[in-house]
Amino acid sequence: MTEPKDIVLKESEEVEGVPVEGPWLDDVSSLEEVLDYYERIGFQATHLGRAIEIWQKVEEKRANGEEVRVFLGYTSNIISSGLREIIAWLVKEGKVDVIVTTAGGIEEDFIKALKPFILGDWNVNDALMREKGINRIGNIFVPNDRYIEFEKYMIPFFERVLEMEKERGKPLTASEFIYEMGRYMDEKLGKEKERSVIYWAYKRNVPIFCPAITDGSIGDMLYFFKEERGDRELIIDIANDIVKLNNLAVTAKETASIILGGSLPKHAIINANLFRGGTDYAIYVTTAIPWDGSLSGAPPSEGVSWGKIRAKADYVEIWADATLVFPLLVWKVMKG
């Protein structure tokens, strides 16, 4: 019979590896030095440390003239938050080559160049908010006058797009539509446009893909435009965009996929990479769980089973709110 002490104090095998430790605050004097410890802290901090390492590797390759095409995907709530400005900076500085987002990721970026969103609270009377015409995205408030102002710009923009399509003899793709929005912002808006993702994507010629572009306020404005004018000619082409997006993956020597959140942007990016045998680098930041089989919660290893991420790829998933970790990730990679 095994003795209780032998059960509790069972002999163990030696484990080689990195010791778990965090920063001793007397020994660090900057955020950069604190972030150097993240890979050793454990739990999701270690995943953030790994993400820093992967993105730094991508940046080093690009700095040495090697081609690593960076795909950035994000859901609309990312633009609702203050991460919008970080993403706009990345585009401005040439750190991103391809963007995929949802309709809200387009329209909210434009709207914020007109009027800011307001920091509110999680605990409110939502019925009363509705009576006051104030929309809520978590603890971010968006008064309805933002959408009223948006319509003032979008209806003339649709007129412009319609004329362009008549002259071309074919519809604009969604990415061309968004590019023209950037041009329109450049013409119509002042200094406030310089914090916009769309504006800098236009200036830097970074394509923004939005396969579900009508699923939001843009779709609402299209509805008003078409119904009020009886228009059936204005069309946004998404079929040719899928060819363009897939080919941006296929023609790249290497690709890196950085994805905040899940849903359509995540799948559009990794599915495009399927056609080249999978992405070479992947960083996921998500709060979605994998247990319901959703794409949003699917970890990178599941993408390997589909061929959307290479079996030998460098990849990591950070299970955390992107507003907490993405600023740290970008700061360390780009400035640290």
Alpha helices in the chain (DSSP H): 4-8, 31-35, 38-41, 43-63, 76-80, 83-92, 103-112, 126-131, 145-168, 174-188, 197-204, 217-229, 239-250, 263-274, 300-306, 322-334
Write down the catalytic residue from 132, 308, 312, 332.
308
Place of tokens 């996929």: 257
Residue 195: closest CA among 118, 266, 115, 259: 115
Both structure tokens of 235 = 């069309």
Per the annotation, the verdict on 308 as an active-site residue is: yes
Residue 67: closest CA among 270, 269, 255: 255
Neighbour tally for 85: CB within 10 Å: 15
Place of tokens 């059936």: 232
Cα Dmax for the chain: 90
Neighbour tally for 140: CB within 10 Å: 17
Phi, psi of 11 (to 5 degrees): -60, 140
Active-site positions read 308
